[in-house]
Amino acid sequence: MPKKMTNDPWELSSNDASKMKDSTKTGGGASTFCPKRNVSIGSVCKACETIQPLWDFPEGSPERKLASKKKATVSYFLSVVLPSNKDKSIVLEIGKKAGDYIIDSIYDPDKNWKMIAHPVVGKGFDTKIKKRKGDLGFNTYDTFRGEQCDWDIPKSVLESLTDLSQANIIKMLKDGTLVEGENYFRIQSLKLDETLTFRVCPAWNYRDGGKVILTPVFRHWGVSQAEIDGDIALSMNIEEVVVPETVTASDHQTESPMVKTDTPTVTEKHDTCYGIITPMVFYDVDDSDCNKCGDFVECGKIVTKKLAKANLR
């Protein structure tokens, strides 16, 4: 009788990938945590309730763009080991596209990333993320597979992995125990054309059978806690998503009871980086500083148009 094959306990499955992806579906100055999308909080979000009717407007409309600006966006958190310091794990924060790519690659049998979190030599492999300018000049993060590792993740690292339950990540972000440069790295901190090589660690609760290696956290940008709680009304200024040089007041009159545009005004004062594309593109769609700026959408449109014109020359 042939010996029955057993599954490698470190190998991730398509079902594990599905659980990670499903976790993203449930559930300006500084960011605020969405109590609705973050299932560890699991309560009402007045900001989400307020913008919900705006999604019924046509694609490309000011109302739909305002909803997109105010919605909760996701970041993924995972424990990794850097080749330069194999005896320590750090918490890595990556964006939605990079996180989704990793999950989809675990799920896709053709890519076969199921061993991404395997800690044993010759089994696990490096993951690489490169920051570069995309076709329109905005920063993008290419994620790809590296070589199989010729070293084990030390037992001391596996026994001291950071608790990456969503509730604990939110707590650490709030109380400042995640310190960039010490135990924490944001992928946005990469320099242009720089690549981060790392090895993904197993789930912090692997001893209990946990295999969720990426944890999603949802945050609103440019939305205050008082607006989240409903103590004050969510700011719904339609001018936040209107480019003044191409849109006039008459262009964005609306019947929507959610957005008042009777006397629209355009703020003339902008940050010094507003709309600049030289000597480098300042606008970064993934950058938290850009996201919390009141000119975020407006600046992006102007930069896009300038880059399009430059590429036609």
Give per-residue pLDDT as tens, 83-141: 999 999 999 999 999 999 999 999 999 998 999 999 999 999 999 999 999 887 789 99
| Model confidence, pTM | 0.71
For the cut 50, the answer to whether the pLDDT of residue 289 exceeds it is: yes
Would residue 1 count as lying in a domain? no
Average pLDDT over residues 23-43: 76
CA distances from 203 to 18, 79, 112, 240 (A): 15, 8, 18, 40
Would residue 139 count as lying in a domain? yes
Would residue 234 count as lying in a domain? yes
Would residue 2 count as lying in a domain? no
CA–CA separation, 296 and 301 (whole Å): 9
Digit-coded pLDDT (tens) for 152-204: 999 999 999 999 999 999 999 999 999 999 999 999 999 999 999 999 999 99
What is the total residue count of the chain?
A: 313
Domain extent, residue 186, equals 8-313
Would residue 144 count as lying in a domain? yes
Total structural domains in the chain? 1
Would residue 180 count as lying in a domain? yes
Helix (H, G, I), strand (E, B) or coil at 42: coil
Would residue 3 count as lying in a domain? no
Would residue 260 count as lying in a domain? yes
